[in-house]
């Protein structure tokens, strides 16, 4: 039996890589200094795994920005627009690489960055490869080979981790119509061959190919590509040990395809899909070894040794321990680095957790236990692990009977407004008296350096709560007055009191805790520190009423209350693993429902519940969509349904494809939905138009992601475009989301023009 790690976090346990990259980008350190930081992180990571006694330690899991972009550079799939960059002789390969990731504005060049998108169903974002018909590839970067050599210097015969050829193609995008990216298999194979030859020459024994798509729905063509690619590689490299890693879902209908590939080791994710073990054991050929992904690579909880040992035992019984590898379910990239840094966590809760470094040790212990070690320390560890699980099961910190009771007594009525939209619409018109094409914004206003300074001073206790409160009130008041002056119809308070749209709520809810250092890479140098939901969720006191009420008291116009929805709070947190996600989501939904009702009672008659994460929560397999959508939409409705007909519920979603879930979005039954839209020139509205979406809708009329100020005419044009497909009486006028990232000067000009455009549009009716 052997242990291996599919990948280790590379940001550094103190986010050293983030800091070094940002310093390099701003010219504060030179290339060599950045490379030193990278080298040190690799060495530290290897050492952690070596000391834990891991058998196969990965290399090339490190990356300065993104592992998919690494592969793009390695394979010479550099889009044409970047080729000028190397003409400037002071630019290195890494500068080209960063230009592809972040764009390039220097030496009279102005080149946009490559597109970025989510890595499967995680919050990690990768840089999307760009493909052209008949594209030629070449071995362009030696990163993989260099990292292997680096590991060797550290005394490790590492296992290079490479994105599998088929998954690499499937991750990318065809840049013109009329060809299929899978047609590029034959052009890519020689480069993969060249890489493997070099690695073999240097003494590599094992190679890990990440082929997550094997756990997803596959076309016949993709299936054939898998067969062809691995048959070819096998033929060329009879001696190399080829590992194919699947994760994030079960093999399901790809079971026979995956187990019949001519490879040496198949890795399966037994955290996401433990049931697949039996199916795999049923059909696995004698020539194939099996890697059991038993430690959750995507969450922060301790492994339950008893449960894991039961799974391992099942596999041992069937195929013998020599054919078994043990591993985390997926790369530990999605876990924070080291729990030891969390000195301020409640010790009881901390005792339930394991971050990457701890998971590595768990893995080594599991192997020792599985092969029957009777080491005393180990047996002690086993007993402690068992005890932690038992204590967690009954902890008063986790279990709140009143929450369980309330959620348990849920009836369908909790998710129903009193009347249907037509009735509500009339009640809302009577109360709100809004004009045609009403104007609003999505919630936040510029979080200036000043505002951020106030918060940081307040946190460091350099200013008192009283002073902080006064400063925020002044800022809120200014914002309200300004919106009133330029003629916006539905005002927002500006969200100045909020650090982040999930953290702000998590901090005020029971059942959440926060870490000091549990950072996880989101993209490039950007890391997030998700809240941790460890117990039953409830809301001890109102969370937003104070600010909304204050804002409303400053104006005779309507102020819109601003909340984050239950699905988004769930999606952007680490969640408990002792109950289904749907159950946790429902608890959050009831907490938000209480907030909505309190806002209504405080005189806030328009309330927005942001749900930007609903779409990204979709399961990877289509067959699982309905089940997820059913509870996700239900949770939104629970949060929104406790109010009178005349209270107007808004929701907001960020840029996404709505076509395949438009029925579900309609089922949310929000009175108004605002969507991020301008980058698509209103094309996203098509889904709503075709569906004859019945409720009101506010497509973003300008992109807030750049400081560029749009003209009134531009926005008028977009409004006309919207009005051509959606009846005027259903339309709202608003920008895209995220004004908090902008500065005031451009925000002011753009919104003034937006209000003029809306007024002009309304006047034509």
Question: Is residue 737 within the footprint of Zn ion (CB under 5 A)?
Answer: yes
Q: 33 vs 744, which CB is nearer to ligand GLN?
A: 744
Minimum distance of Zn ion from residue 738's CB (angstroms): 6
- Interacting partner of 511 out of ligand GLN, Zn ion, none (Cβ under 5 to 8 A depending on kind): none
- 61 or 676: whose CB is closer to ligand GLN? 676
Closest to ligand GLN by CB, 4 vs 652, is 652
Coil vs helix vs strand at 186: helix
Binding positions for ligand GLN, rule: CB under 6 A: 442-444, 501, 562, 610, 612, 652, 654, 737-738, 740
Residue nearest to ligand GLN (CB): 443
Range 639-658, binding Zn ion (CB under 5 A): 654
* Residue 18 labelled as part of a binding site: yes
Q: How far is CA 214 from CA 256, 259, 333, 383, 726, in A?
A: 11, 11, 20, 37, 41
The residue written with tokens 């067959």 in the block is: 623
Question: In whole angstroms, how close is the CB of 503 to ligand GLN at the nearest point?
Answer: 13
Q: How far apart (Å, rounded) are the C-alpha atoms in residues 750 and 486?
A: 11
Annotated binding-site residue? 444: yes
Q: Which does 506 bind (CB under 5 to 8 A by kind): Zn ion, ligand GLN, none?
A: none
685 binds, among Zn ion, ligand GLN, none (CB under 5 to 8 A by kind): none
Q: In sequence order, which ranges of 433-492 are alpha helices (DSSP H)?
A: 449-459, 465-486
At residue 314's C-alpha, the angle toward residues 310 and 317, to 5°, is 130
Tell me if 454 is assigned to a ligand binding site: no
Distance separating alpha carbons of residues 237 and 274, to the nearest angstrom: 32
267 is in an annotated binding site: no
Task: Please compute Rg for the chain using Cα positions.
Answer: 27
Give the bridge partners for 161, in sequence order.
208
Smaller CB separation from Zn ion, 613 or 716 = 613
Q: Pick from 150, 511, 612, 642 the residue near Zn ion by CB under 5 A.
A: 612
| Residue 610 among known ligand-binding residues | yes
**Which of Zn ion, ligand GLN, none interacts with 129 (beta carbon under 5 to 8 A by kind)?**
none
- Among candidate residues 4, 125, 405, 705, the one labeled active-site is 705
Which residues partner with 131 through β-bridges? 174
Q: What tokens does 330 get?
A: 């997926």
| Chain position carrying tokens 């102020």 | 559
- List residues bridging with 325 in a β-sheet: 2, 291
- Shortest gap between Cβ of 612 and ligand GLN (angstroms)? 4
Known catalytic residue at 705: yes
Residue nearer to ligand GLN on the CB measure, 60 or 444: 444
CA distance 486 to 131: 47
Residue 610, contacted partner among Zn ion, ligand GLN, none, CB below 5-8 A by kind: ligand GLN
Q: Say which entry of Zn ion, ligand GLN, none residue 501 contacts (CB below 5 to 8 A, set by partner kind).
A: ligand GLN
Other C-beta atoms closer than 10 Å to the C-beta of 727 total: 10
Residues 97, 65: contact at Cβ < 8 Å? Answer: yes
* Least distance from ligand GLN to the Cβ atom of residue 736, Å: 8
C-alpha 507: how far from its chain's center? Answer: 20
- Nearest to ligand GLN of 102, 498 (CB atom): 498
Helices within 507-624 (DSSP H only): 545-553, 566-571, 581-601
Tell me how far, at minimum, the Cβ of 747 lies from Zn ion, in Å.
16
Residues facing 523 on adjacent strands: 526
Nearest approach, Cβ of residue 443 and ligand GLN (Å): 3
Distance CA 598, CA 390 (A): 38
Partnered with residue 301 across adjacent β-strands are: 353
Query: Nearest to Zn ion by Cβ — which residue?
Result: 737
Q: How far apart are CA 596 and CA 608, in angstroms?
A: 9
* 434 marked as binding residue: no
Q: Is 443 annotated as a binding residue?
A: yes
Which residue carries 């369908």 as its tokens?
Answer: 412
Q: How far is the CB of 492 from ligand GLN (least distance, A)?
A: 8
Provide, rounded to whole angstroms, the least separation between the CB of residue 740 and ligand GLN.
5
Q: Which is nearer to ligand GLN, 151 or 607 (CB)?
A: 607
User: Which of Zn ion, ligand GLN, none does 443 bind, CB closer than 5 to 8 A by kind?
Assistant: ligand GLN
Rounded to the nearest angstrom, the gap between the alpha carbon of residue 651 and the centroid of all alpha carbons in its chain is 20
Site residues for Zn ion, 656-715, by CB under 5 A, read: 676
Question: HSE on the CB side for 620, CA within 13 Å?
Answer: 21
Cβ pair 381, 11 in contact under 8 A: no
CB 100 within 8 Å of CB 74: no
SS3 267: strand
Span near Zn ion by CB under 5 A; candidates 314-322, 457-465, 631-639, 737-745: 737-745
Active site residue ranges: 705
Annotated binding site for 5-methyltetrahydropteroyltri-L-glutamate: 15-18, 118, 123, 526-527, 572, 616
In the complex, the residues that contact Zn ion under the rule CB under 5 A are: 612, 654, 676, 737
Annotated binding site for Zn(2+): 652, 654, 667, 676, 737
Annotated binding site for L-homocysteine: 442-444, 495, 610
């Amino acid at each position: 039996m052997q242990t291996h790690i599919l990948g280790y976090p590379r940001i550094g346990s103190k986010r050293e890589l983030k800091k070094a990259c940002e310093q390099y980008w701003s010219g504060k350190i030179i290339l060599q200094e950045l490379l030193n930081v990278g080298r040190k992180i690799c060495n530290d990571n290897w050492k952690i795994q070596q000391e834990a006694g891991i058998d196969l330690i990965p290399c090339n899991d490190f990356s300065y920005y993104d592992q998919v972009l690494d592969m793009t550079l390695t394979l010479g799939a550099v889009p044409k627009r970047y080729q000028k960059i190397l003409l400037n002789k002071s630019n290195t390969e890494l500068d080209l690489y960063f230009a592809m990731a972040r764009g390039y504005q220097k030496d009279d060049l102005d080149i946009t960055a490559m597109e970025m998108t989510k890595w499967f169903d995680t919050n990690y974002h990768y840089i999307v490869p760009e493909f052209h018909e008949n594209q030629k590839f070449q071995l362009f970067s030696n990163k993989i080979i260099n990292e292997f050599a680096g590991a060797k210097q550290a005394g490790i015969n590492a296992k290079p981790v490479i994105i599998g050829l088929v998954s690499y193609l499937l991750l990318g995008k065809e840049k013109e119509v009329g060809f299929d990216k899978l047609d590029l298999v034959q052009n890519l194979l020689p480069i993969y061959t060249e890489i493997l030859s070099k690695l073999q020459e240097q003494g590599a024994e094992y190679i890990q190919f990440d082929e997550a798509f094997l756990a997803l729905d596959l076309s016949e063509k993709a299936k054939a590509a898998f067969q062809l690619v691995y048959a070819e590689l096998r033929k060329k490299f009879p001696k190399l040990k080829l590992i194919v890693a699947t994760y994030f879902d079960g093999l399901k209908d790809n079971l026979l395809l995956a187990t019949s590939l001519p490879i040496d080791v198949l890795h399966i994710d037994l955290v996401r899909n433990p049931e697949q073990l039996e199916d795999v054991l049923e059909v696995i050929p004698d020539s194939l070894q099996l890697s059991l992904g038993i430690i959750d690579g995507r969450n922060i909880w301790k492994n339950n040794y008893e449960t894991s040992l039961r799974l391992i035992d099942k596999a041992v019984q069937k195929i013998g321990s020599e054919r078994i590898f043990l591993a985390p379910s997926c790369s530990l990239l999605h876990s924070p680095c080291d729990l030891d840094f969390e000195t301020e966590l409640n010790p009881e809760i901390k005792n339930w957790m394991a971050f990457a470094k701890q998971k590595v040790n768990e893995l080594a212990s599991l192997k020792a236990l599985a092969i029957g070690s009777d080491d005393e320390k180990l047996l002690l560890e086993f007993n402690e692990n068992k005890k932690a699980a038992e204590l967690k099961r009954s902890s008063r910190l986790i279990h709140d009977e009143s929450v369980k009771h309330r959620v348990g007594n849920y009836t369908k009525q909790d998710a129903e407004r009193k009347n249907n939209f037509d009735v509500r619409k009339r009640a809302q018109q009577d109360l709100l008296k809004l004009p045609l094409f009403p104007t609003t914004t999505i919630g936040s206003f510029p979080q200036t350096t000043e505002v951020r300074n106030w918060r940081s001073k307040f946190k460091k206790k350099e200013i008192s709560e009283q002073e902080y409160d006064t400063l925020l009130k002044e800022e809120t008041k200014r914002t309200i007055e300004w919106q009133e002056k330029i003629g916006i119809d539905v005002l927002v308070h500006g969200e100045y009191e909020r650090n982040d749209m999930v953290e702000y709520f998590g901090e005020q809810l029971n059942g959440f805790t926060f870490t000091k250092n549990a950072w996880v890479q989101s993209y490039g140098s950007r890391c997030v520190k998700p809240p941790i939901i460890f117990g039953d969720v409830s809301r001890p006191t109102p969370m937003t009423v104070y600010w909304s009420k204050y804002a409303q008291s400053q104006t005779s116009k309507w102020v819109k209350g601003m909340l984050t929805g239950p699905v988004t709070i769930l999606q952007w947190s680490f969640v408990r693993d002792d109950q289904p996600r749907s159950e946790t989501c429902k608890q959050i939904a009831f907490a938000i429902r209480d907030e909505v009702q309190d806002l209504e009672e405080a005189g806030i008659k328009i309330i927005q519940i942001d749900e930007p994460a609903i779409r990204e929560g979709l399961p990877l397999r289509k067959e699982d969509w309905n089940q997820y959508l059913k509870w996700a939409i239900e949770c939104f409705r629970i949060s929104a349904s406790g109010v009178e007909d005349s209270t107007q519920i808004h929701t907001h979603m960020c840029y996404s494809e709505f076509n395949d879930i438009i029925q579900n979005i309609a089922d949310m039954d929000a009175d108004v939905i605002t969507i991020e839209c301008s980058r698509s020139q209103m094309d996203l509205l098509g889904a709503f138009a075709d569906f004859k979406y019945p409720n009101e809708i506010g497509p973003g009329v300008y992109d807030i992601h750049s400081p560029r100020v749009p003209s009134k005419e531009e926005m008028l044009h977009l409004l006309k475009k919207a009005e051509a497909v959606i009846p005027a009486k259903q339309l709202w006028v608003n920008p895209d989301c995220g004004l908090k990232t902008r500065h005031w000067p451009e925000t002011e000009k753009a919104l003034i023009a937006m209000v003029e455009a809306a007024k002009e549009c309304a006047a034509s009716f």
